[in-house]
């Protein structure tokens, strides 16, 4: 999850003894740029949170794209090729990565896993009359500041770098937009004489859903490469502006995802994805679209599953085993 390559530290495994070792080692094992490594070493909680954030973001990406042609395959070479280009998928990857880090850090602060941050502080004093701020809110203020610095404050002239940074910020903004105030009542038999409230982040699934929607409505900004030929050129600058590969292109001020290139179809194997041959699909739902008109194979198989489960007092669940015939659909090659 470096500024230039989100999710690249994914295939890293932290062995149990490594966690007990100095956190410096944990930071060194991650693929980080120099400034990022410095920030990682400053707080023993950062390395662990980074790893957690990356796997959370990757899982959410795969969940959100489970019915699509591109199913968020993050295997090394596909990911590397994808990140080199400016597709909508690339934009989503940047945004979900920075959202994941913002989310995980804010939670790590309130969970007491960090040294340099704790709970969210009470906001403006006016609110104190209505209720008492208390509990332990997720520290979004600290985490969003950290993430912006971690991913680099770029005022780059390079359009590509600005697009990536913009999409990173969209991820942080989606987290901010999802903050909810949660309250709990105290007092005799729930009389609620005292109410304690704190700020809580929306569940990460909610964030994934919002970013998926933004992916679907992503805006295209001036392309640096010609999709058909893969060559540089063919930039259509907005009217009244000087042409040029970067610099002057305005990016939206609203939290929209932006991309530079049109996505490939992801139908057949390429350097961006393994294609959809052999992919499982759901008939009447997505077989048409993900099999790209090649049709699908139907396989019938027998599955045994627990069913008619009942809770037995106390304390176990008793199920029967049911055998069912099930059809499995896979895309033709």
- Contacts with ligand NAG by CB under 6 A lie at 62, 71, 73, 274, 276, 278-279
Q: In the bound complex, what is the minimum distance in angstroms from residue 316's beta carbon to ligand NAG?
A: 33
Q: In the bound complex, what is the minimum distance in angstroms from residue 264's beta carbon to ligand NAG?
A: 14
Q: In the bound complex, what is the minimum distance in angstroms from residue 304's beta carbon to ligand NAG?
A: 23
Q: In the bound complex, what is the minimum distance in angstroms from residue 95's beta carbon to ligand NAG?
A: 19
- When CB distances to ligand NAG are compared, the closest residue is 71
C-beta of 71 vs 263, nearer to ligand NAG = 71
Q: In the bound complex, what is the minimum distance in angstroms from residue 87's beta carbon to ligand NAG?
A: 17
Structure token digits, residue 198: 């704190």
As a whole number of angstroms, the distance between CA 154 and CA 167 comes to 12
Q: In the bound complex, what is the minimum distance in angstroms from residue 262's beta carbon to ligand NAG?
A: 21
C-beta of 44 vs 274, nearer to ligand NAG = 274
Q: Among 53, 169, 38, which residue's Cα sits nearest to residue 107?
A: 53
Q: In the bound complex, what is the minimum distance in angstroms from residue 73's beta carbon to ligand NAG?
A: 5
Which residues, listed in sequence order, are joined to residue 307 by a DSSP beta bridge?
Answer: 320
C-beta of 2 vs 71, nearer to ligand NAG = 71
Q: In the bound complex, what is the minimum distance in angstroms from residue 11's beta carbon to ligand NAG?
A: 14
Q: In the bound complex, what is the minimum distance in angstroms from residue 55's beta carbon to ligand NAG?
A: 13
As a whole number of angstroms, the distance between CA 85 and CA 220 comes to 13
Structure token digits, residue 281: 């699909």
As a whole number of angstroms, the distance between CA 222 and CA 86 comes to 11
C-beta of 127 vs 270, nearer to ligand NAG = 270
C-beta of 58 vs 211, nearer to ligand NAG = 58
C-beta of 59 vs 183, nearer to ligand NAG = 59
Question: Are 118 and 110 in contact, with CB atoms under 8 Å apart?
Answer: yes
Can you give the length of the chain in residues?
Answer: 333
Peptide bond into 314 cis (omega under 30): yes
C-beta of 3 vs 6, nearer to ligand NAG = 6
Structure token digits, residue 7: 């999710």
C-beta of 58 vs 197, nearer to ligand NAG = 58
Q: Give the number of other Cβ atoms within 10 Å of residue 333's Cβ.
A: 12
C-beta of 24 vs 67, nearer to ligand NAG = 67
């Amino acid at each position: 999850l470096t500024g230039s390559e989100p999710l690249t530290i994914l295939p890293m495994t932290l062995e149990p003894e490594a966690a007990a070792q100095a956190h410096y080692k944990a930071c060194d094992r991650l693929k980080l740029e120099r400034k990022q490594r410095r920030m990682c070493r400053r707080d023993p909680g950062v390395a662990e949170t980074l790893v957690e954030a990356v796997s959370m973001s990757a899982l959410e990406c795969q969940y959100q794209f489970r019915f699509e042609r591109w199913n968020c395959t993050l295997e090394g070479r596909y990911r590397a090729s994808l990140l080199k280009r400016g597709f909508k998928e690339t934009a989503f990857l940047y945004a979900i990565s920075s959202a994941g880090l913002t989310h995980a850090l804010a939670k790590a602060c309130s969970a007491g896993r960090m040294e340099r941050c704790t709970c969210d502080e009470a906001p403006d004093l006016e609110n104190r009359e209505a209720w008492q701020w208390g509990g332990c809110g997720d520290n979004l203020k600290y985490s969003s500041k950290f993430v912006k610095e971690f991913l680099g404050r770029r005022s780059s002239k390079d359009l590509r770098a600005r697009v990536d940074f913009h999409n990173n910020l969209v991820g942080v903004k989606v987290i901010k937009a999802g903050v909810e105030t949660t309250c709990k009542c105290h007092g005799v038999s729930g009389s609620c004489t005292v109410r304690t409230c704190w700020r809580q982040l929306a569940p990460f699934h909610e964030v994934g859903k919002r970013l998926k929607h933004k992916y679907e409505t992503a805006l295209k900004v001036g392309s640096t490469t010609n999709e058909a030929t893969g060559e540089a050129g063919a930039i259509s600058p907005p009217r009244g502006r000087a042409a040029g590969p970067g610099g002057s292109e305005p990016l939206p001020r609203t939290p929209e995802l932006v991309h530079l290139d049109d996505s490939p179809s992801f139908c057949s194997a390429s350097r961006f994805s393994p294609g959809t041959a052999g992919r499982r699909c759901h008939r009447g739902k997505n077989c048409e679209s993900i099999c790209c008109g090649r049709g699908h194979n139907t396989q019938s198989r027998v599955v045994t599953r627990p069913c008619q489960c009942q809770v037995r007092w106390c304390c176990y669940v008793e199920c029967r085993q049911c055998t069912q015939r099930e059809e499995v659909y896979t895309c033709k090659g």
